[in-house]
Amino acid sequence: MGKFDWDDLQAFLAVVRAGRLTVAARKLGVDHSTLSRRIAGLEQAIGVTLFDRRSAGYALTVEGERLVPDAEAMENLAIRIRSRQDDAAQGLTGSVRIGTPEAWGTYFFARELKELARLHPELEIELVANPRMFSLSKREADIAVSMTRPEQGRLIARRLNDYELGVYAAPSYLEERGVITRRRDLERQRWVGYIEDLMWSSELDYLGEISPALTPQIRISNVISQVQAVAAGAGLGVLPCFLATREPGLVRLLPDEIRLTRSYWLLTHADARDLVRVQAVADFIIGRLAALGRDFWMDGQAGETSPAQ
């Protein structure tokens, strides 16, 4: 066996996450032949084959899959050590990436970035507001906002806020299809909803909660585009109140009968609990939510919002 090199382990993780040698090499800023030699050196050092080299990309072998969690644990430890040294020597500097659902990131957090930058002028903030789950162990984000509390992994979860959803329509749709006054009228309507195989969280399955007979005729992958489609009269939609109430003209239907509630969770990796910059941003988010209050997330008539805990 050869000599084990930490740089080779970093190269291994880059290829795992990219899936292709050329993509991983570009992200690391090295030549693909150099990266190939690092992978070969790691395999020689530990005495196993880590990848099946295929024309479509690099696929992990069984031995490679076993190495991933240990490699990520070593990566997290290295990041913690480096970050502690940086924090002690330079104060609150570096970058923090926050991965969020698109509505939360766009309608709430993007509005708070000015204040965050004012409080921490040396900090670099990256906001990734996409309809997806973020893997903290794979370094896709330092902080993630999720619609579900994770059951596995070395994650610290704090409940941020609850929010309300209702059924909405545009006046133009109601003029075309008639006034809706009863719950059973909903089954005869045209609906805007999610593309089922792109539904990144089970918490987004709203229609079945209202009636098993409801099926969207128009399917859209993200909620911001759904709001615009409903506002244009494409159909009815189940929308977060904090989005719909800010869209001029949308009408909420049957508010006394149909009230759905969901929650947002703040997730950090257990290895990041000592990183000053990550905790500073997490504390900022919680503080700004407390100052904003529950009315932003509700339609003014729902039950109490659970505080961050």
Per the structure, the count of domains in the chain is 3
Q: What is the pLDDT of residues 31-55, one digit of tens each?
A: 888 888 888 888 888 889 998 888 7
What is the domain extent for residue 99? 88-161+263-293
For residues 167 and 250, state if they share a domain. yes
Assess whether 139 and 128 both reside in one domain.
yes
Closest to 8 (Cα-Cα) out of 39, 32, 36, 29:
39
Residue 81 in domain? no
What is the DSSP pairing of strand 260-269 with strand 143-146?
Answer: antiparallel
Is the predicted pLDDT of residue 91 greater than 60, yes or no? Answer: no
Q: Does the residue 56 lie in any domain? A: yes
pLDDT value at position 108? Answer: 94
Instruction: Please check whether residues 112 and 238 belong to one and the same domain.
Output: no
In a shared domain, residues 100 and 186 = no
At residue 276, the pLDDT reads 85
Residue 79 in this model has a pLDDT that exceeds 60: yes
Instruction: Confirm whether 143 is domain-assigned.
Output: yes
Higher pLDDT, 8 or 265: 265
Return d(Cα 124, Cα 109) in angstroms, integer: 15
Q: What is the pLDDT of residue 23?
A: 87
Are residue 224 and residue 267 in the same domain, yes or no? no
Same structural domain, 169 and 254: yes
Model pLDDT, residue 306: 34
Q: What is the pLDDT of residue 133?
A: 86
Which pLDDT band, with edges at 50, 70 and 90, does 269 fall under?
confident
pLDDT at 102 over 50: yes
Q: Is residue 215 part of a domain?
A: yes
Same domain, 257 and 168: yes
Question: Which pLDDT tens digit goes with each residue over 9-18?
Answer: 888 888 888 8
Q: What is the pLDDT of residue 302?
A: 38
Q: How confident is the model at residue 305 (pLDDT cuts 50, 70, 90)?
A: very low
Identify the DSSP state of 306. P
pLDDT of residue 65: 87
- Please name which of 226, 52, 13 lies closest in space to residue 135, comparing C-alpha atoms: 13
Percent share of the chain, pLDDT over 90? 46
Whether 89 shows a pLDDT value over 50: the answer reads no
CATH number assigned to the domain comprising residue 51: 1.10.10.10
Per residue in 213-262, pLDDT (tens digit) is 999 999 999 999 999 999 999 999 999 999 999 898 899 999 999 999 99
Same domain as 288, residue 153? yes
Tell me: do 49 and 172 sit in the same domain: no
* 144-165: average pLDDT: 89
208 within a domain of the structure (yes/no):
yes
Note whether residue 78 is domain-resident: no
CB of 285 closer than 8 Å to CB of 109 = yes
Please provide the DSSP assignment of 202-269 as one string: GGG--HHHH-TT---SEE-SSHHHHHHHHHTTS-EEEEEHHHHTTSTT-EEE-TTT--EEEEEEEEEE
Mean pLDDT of the chain: 86
> Looking at residue 82, what is its pLDDT?
62
Question: Is 1 part of any domain?
Answer: no
pLDDT at 194 over 60: yes
pLDDT top residue among 237 and 59: 237
Same domain, 14 and 153: no
Domain shared by 267 and 147, yes or no: yes
145 and 176 belong to one structural domain = no
Q: Name residue, tokens 């904003």.
A: 292
Where is pLDDT greater, at 217 or 2? Answer: 217
Tell me, what DSSP letter sits at residue 307? P
**Residue 167 within a domain:** yes
Give me the phi and psi of 58, to 5 degrees please: -95, 125
- The amino acid that residue 206 corresponds to is Y
CATH number for position 97: 3.40.190.10
